Amino acid sequence: MRSLFLRLLVSLWLAMALLGGLFAVIHARAFPAEASSLRRRLSLRTIELRAERALACAEDGRAGCDEILAPIDPRDLRVAVYRAGELVAGRAIEGARGVAEQARRAGDGVAVEIGEQELTAVVLRRDPSLAAVAVGPVRSPWVFFIMPDTLPYRLLAIITVTGLVAVVLARYLSRPIRVLRGATQRMAAGDLSVRVAERLTGADSETLALGRDMDRMAERIEELLETQRRLLCDVSHELRSPLARLNIALELVRRRSPPDVEPAFDRIERETERLNGMIGELLTLSRLESGRPMERTERIDLLSLVEQVVEDAAFEAEQRGCGVALGARRACSLDGNEELLRRAIENVLRNAVRFTEAGTTVEVDLERAGDAAELRVRDRGPGVPEAALDDIFKPFYRVDEHRARGAGGTGIGLAITHQAVLLHGGEVGARNAEGGGLVVTLRLPVVSEG
């Protein structure tokens, strides 16, 4: 039982149930039990037997009847016998005449009167003109609690009341933990704007202090990430101008240089283009991570878009000695930014073409699953270690530094794909395929065809 709520619930429930049971035991020890139907008959029979004894003692004229009939224990019944309001046997009991008359008039020949003492009158079966009256201590109004006849009701009352109290207390005591857990889940999902201190009002001081510390941590992380995004964006912008000037200078030097240095200039040009492309990807990633909504949305034919990207990727794959094939095709549409989705799909396909083995084919399938479209891209490459399947969508993450750099990757493409899909309300994931290779799945919400 790992749930704090269940632990609190069971602990409080058992504690209160044991307390109720202990109360019942103490009550049973402190008060005489109320007679059940069987015990009531036995009690009435006891009164009759004692009355018979008192009558026998009085009829025989034996001396010392009071001593013989005196109760052994203060809680024992003291019995007197009356006929027509006159004492026949035993010691007179205050108020007994009225109770004896009530018993004669009662249909069952029994009458009970409770005042300072409890009087019970029984009409004797051998002589209906005689009524025996017994006096005893007044029973507690709560004595029903320990009666065997009411055991099911008592158990039901204990379980119901203690259960309700335990549920309320358990929910109240575990509420701060639920609030903190919900906040950490939102933070893990990327929502650093969550704050919990205000929702913990009324909690204990330790929990409230933990909530405030958590708020400060979230604020600090949010500031650091915002600073990082701003730095990344600013640096990328600032690098664009020197690169532009470098390209201009390169063209000027190329015109005045001998032909034998042309390969070196070509290499410089390729590297500057690569650097310029990386800067563009950094700016795109920074814009996506800023959390701003898409500037423009439109209805997109996803199948048509995938076919275009596959056609472009197939041309690049031919240069590498491999191919790209579109298998399952399902027409579907969604609302979003077409250029952003194009880049997201293109990054996955180009990554697959880059790492698939020569002579193999990258398989692309577009299918409909409920209210979402699933685009699966499978290559025939070496795959990715299981521990790194989620990390490949992080910026600049490389599974194999040497292999990734040799393949020309920047480590930003899949991060852009991840952010673009999230911006469209979808999700992206990767898994190693049976038989080798990596399968990247893009799941995007689509509009109804009707």
Q: How many CB atoms lie within 10 A of CB 410?
A: 19
The CA R_g of the chain, rounded to the nearest whole Å, is 46
Binning the chain into helix, strand and coil, the percentages to the nearest 5 are 55, 15, 30
- In angstroms, rounded to a whole number, what is the distance separating the alpha carbons of residues 432 and 93? 97
Catalytic, 27? Answer: no
Please state, in angstroms and as integers, the Cα–Cα distance from residue 7 to each residue in 2, 3, 19, 349, 388, following that order: 8, 6, 18, 51, 37
Q: b/e string for 117-153 if b means 16 or more Cβ within 10 A?
A: ebbbbbbbeeeeebbbbbbbeeeeeebebbbeeeeee
**What phi and psi values does residue 366 have, to the nearest 5 degrees?**
-120, 115
CA angle 432, 383, 324 (to 5 degrees): 90
What dihedral angle (degrees, nearest 10) is formed by the CA atoms of 86, 87, 92, 93?
-60
Q: Residue 146 carries which DSSP code?
A: G
Return the amino acid letter for 112.
Answer: V
Identify the residue whose tokens are 């509420």.
Answer: 175
Q: Are 354 and 408 in contact (CB under 8 A)?
A: yes
Cα–Cα–Cα angle for 194, 196, 202, rounded to 5 degrees? 165
Name residue 431's beta-bridge partners: 439
Quick check: helix, strand or coil at residue 362? strand
Structure tokens at 203: 């909690």
Distance (Å, whole) CA 253 – CA 260: 13
The amino acid at 399: V
Q: Which residue has the tokens 């929990």?
A: 207
Catalytic residue among 237, 402, 418, 424: 237
Q: What residues are annotated to the active site?
A: 237
